[in-house]
Amino acid sequence: MLLDFMPLAVPLHFSFSANWYFRHSEGRIRYTKDVLLDDPASKARQDLDGARLRHSFLPEMFPDPVEARPSVGLGIGLATIPHFVYGAPAVYFPYQEPWTDVLVRPGEDPLSAVAALDESRLEERYVPLANQRDALLRQYSPKDVNIGPPDQQGPMNLLFKLVGERIYHYMLKRKGVAHQLFENITETFVNSHRYFRRLLRGIKPGQKAPFQVAECCSYLESPALVEEYNLKYDTRCGEELGPMWLHSCGESTHNLEAFAKFKIVSAELGFGTDLQKARQLLVQEGIGPVPFICRINPKRLLSLKPSEVEKDVAYILDAVRGGPASIASVGVDYGTPRENLLAAMGRVKRYHDEKAEQEA
């Protein structure tokens, strides 16, 4: 049985959408190819511009970035592997991150398009990203810039991007094809992580390090499918790469028992997920209750009244008792009232004040 205790501290964090940065900067921060790919120095400058915008909008959370160094992720976000590895055409917008259309068209053989790639072949396809790193290091010393890998997603997410909704048909009706697709993309995913670990951190293939697997599509699956596919291949990733952070989108209560079979060190759970049930189920041997990152839906921050936002935060604070937790809203959009963000911050502060009194 879990101890019925409330975490001593529950950090809260907001991150903002591309549209938020584009609109608040009056178009100076944009997500076009010339910025994201062709000119890494401008990408670094935009990161600092974004930090100044965050401070101007919400100084109660974001400090003055006068001493900040830029943080730059190589590639073009979640479109990186579909575009650079598999050749899916990338579409750029000034106000949102790049996107790729489904690569495998109806009637085409998905196995001919989604092959397993070893690290040497990935190195060839990632030359533009290695060039990005080199360009940044010509402009900045290593201590003055933080260069990170692209968003590499996870096996299921990548297959959804490459194959489209037909991946569910394969998982249900053509299991041999589905498992081969998962085999191929899992090998590519693992080797992609190994490549960027070596490129950016000097980590050798046999060394383990934490990584995230994104399960944004799992809320559309049944528990049986999650166990047959996601669990099997994400587990293989963990065996090869190291401790795994699990991210899921949307309301995922129906898959919590399946998620409990994953070997994870942290879980990010979509808004609406039954956190009390999650706390009971997501317990790991040697760790205990795993830390939760609990999402607040940014659409609710955009549309609710401050008092309603406080209720959303209060629900999370009460539901996560029994283990460590933090709260985040990712993709806070343009037009979200400052008052709503301050309401969330104020409710968390009251919680911390109450805990401090209890511990005194």
List the chain domain ranges. Answer: 31-207
CA 201 to each of CA 142, 197, 207, 210: distance values in angstroms, whole numbers, following the listed order: 11, 5, 11, 13
CATH architecture designation of domain 31-207:
Alpha-Beta Barrel (3.20)
Q: What is the pLDDT at residue 355?
A: 85
Residue 295 phi, psi dihedral angles, 5° rounding? -85, 140
The beta strand positions in the chain, using DSSP E, are 12-16, 71-73, 90-93, 96-100, 146-148, 211-215, 244-248, 266-269, 283-284, 288-289, 292-295, 325-332
Helix 175-201 crosses helix 155-163 at what angle (to 10 degrees)? 120
Count CB neighbours of 244 within 10 A.
Answer: 21
User: Do 355 and 8 meet the contact criterion of CB atoms below 8 Å apart?
Assistant: yes
Give residue 4's pLDDT: 53
Asked if residues 93 and 17 have their Cβ atoms less than 8 Å apart, the reply is no
Q: Return left, alpha or beta for 249; rule: phi > 0 is left, psi -120 to 50 is alpha, else beta.
A: beta
Interval 135-152: pLDDT, tens? 999 999 999 999 999 999
pLDDT in tens, the chain (360 residues): 455 556 678 999 999 999 999 999 999 999 999 999 999 999 999 999 999 999 999 999 999 998 889 999 999 999 999 999 999 999 999 999 999 999 999 889 999 999 999 999 999 999 999 999 999 999 999 999 999 999 999 999 999 999 999 999 999 999 999 999 999 999 999 999 999 999 999 988 789 999 999 999 888 999 999 999 999 999 999 999 999 999 998 899 999 999 999 999 999 998 899 999 999 999 998 889 999 999 999 999 999 999 999 999 999 999 998 899 999 999 999 999 999 999 999 999 999 998 888 876
Distance of CA 250 to the CA centre of its chain: 13
Q: Which tokens hold the place of 39?
A: 């000119």
* Whole-angstrom distance, CA of residue 17 vs CA of residue 63: 19
Q: Check the CA dihedral 34-36-38-43 and report its sign.
A: positive
* Phi, psi values for residue 158, rounded to 5°: -65, -40
Q: What is the pLDDT of residue 84?
A: 97
* Rg of the chain, C-alpha, whole Å: 21
CA atoms of 146 and 72, how far apart (whole Å): 6
Q: Looking at residue 1, what is its pLDDT?
A: 45
